[in-house]
Structure 1
């Protein structure tokens, strides 16, 4: 007997809430070793549409060092990077917030050669999300560089503040709002 009907597709599954169990490791939040003289913390919360912290999210960061060099084999200057700089950090939010120990990155050119303002790229994975979201944290105390940044200048004026990390006692604060009135600007990558 032959049938002409087909079975429906299996629905997609969401990410988590297992992220903090399987994807963390001891060096995760340390882009630079503790004790690095120019190190700063970037701390924040991942916040849902109701304004509540998401305690089962994972935040990953990627950035260049203070001189605009990436810890990556495709960067010809990577051999000049000081020991201990990894360029990559990962922190979960099970305590209500995330924290990444890093340095303020240098300026790097975009594809057309225009210098970008110092920034850290962030990927956020959380429950209820089928795919990660990607954003950038620029530094609020660098207004001149931010004003000339070719990416930040494409963001509407009233939304740019969602991409600014604010100075705090030991570094910067950068909250990521995944939904709602204060939703962070995310980039299609």
Structure 2
């Protein structure tokens, strides 16, 4: 007999508080002895990793244009050949020397996040069309009820960006630049704006 579940009520939502850093990056908060190092805080690459080394730097800005100093940012991406380091990857074998995922708390003085990684290869969309090289971002911080998902594309990939099926779906074309990381040499700057005129496009996934 099916039992009614109307008595199970949804818990009230909570904004991300200090437990995010305490639970996800205890060493960063000064709590030692839980892990040798915080999960995701090590380098994503080794000397054997294939691909072009890049550094991704940026800030998370609030609606007033002030960088958040308590944001926690995660990235995940394909390797240089376009394969993910994931059990669900069925197209080929990912580079075993590339982790593909990392986590970085913003600097408590400046709010800056930094990732040492490689430029990813192109990954096919559902029907097989190649997407432009991109890095997936997930952001949490004080005042954010649900983690925010976005993407960073590369300013030196104009042709590939023009063919990308996700970027092509953005109706308001003036907002496309909010997803483009500015590349200068081996450094890519990607600032994330939560609100305002420069508000970054976020994805409902």
Instruction: Report the TM range for the smaller structure's normalisation.
Output: 0.7 to 0.9
Q: 1:64 — aligned with what?
A: 78
- RMSD over aligned CA atoms reads 2.3
Query: CA offset at residue 79 of structure 1?
Result: 3.8
* Counterpart Cα distance in 2 of 1:47 and 1:68: 30
On the 8 A contact 1:177/1:184 being kept in 2, the answer is yes
Q: TM-score, normalised by structure 1?
A: 0.87
Distance in 1 separating the partners of 2:139 and 2:175: 19
Structure with bigger RCO (C-alpha 8 Å, 6+ apart) = 1
- Report how many aligned residue pairs link the two structures: 182
2:181 to 158, 165, 185: 165
Which of 153, 156, 164 aligns to 1:149? It is: 164
1:28 offset after TM fit, Å? 1.7
Shift in Å at residue 82 of structure 1?
Answer: 3.7
CA positional deviation for 1:80? 4.6
- 2:123–2:131 contact (8 Å) kept in structure 1: yes
Q: Which runs of 4+ in 1 moved over 4 A?
A: 34-37
Task: Give CA-to-partner distance per residue, 1:1-41, whole Å, 9 cap, x none.
Answer: xxxxxxx9864211123433321316426222379572211
Return the match for 1:102 from 101, 110, 117: 117
Question: Unpaired segments of 5 or more residues in structure 2?
Answer: 1-8, 26-37
Which residue of 2 is the match for residue 13 of structure 1? 14
SS at match of 1:111: coil
1:187 aligns with: 203
Q: Does the CA contact (< 8 Å) of 1:18 and 1:56 recur in 2? A: no
Given that residues 24 and 39 in structure 2 are in contact (C-alpha distance below 8 angstroms), is that contact kept between their aligned partners in structure 1? Answer: no
Where do 5+ consecutive residues of structure 1 fail to align?
1-7
Write the deviation string for residues 130-150 of structure 1: whole angstroms up to 9, x where unpaired. Answer: 101100000011000000000
Q: Give TM-score scaled by structure 2 length.
A: 0.81
Q: Deviations over 1:91-112 (max 9, x none)?
A: 0113411011111110011111
Asked whether the 8 Å contact 2:148–2:203 carries over to 1, the reply is yes
The aligned runs of 1:120-139 (5 Å cut-off) are 120-139=135-154
- Partner SS state of residue 125, structure 2: coil
CA distance in 2, matches of 1:80, 1:166: 27
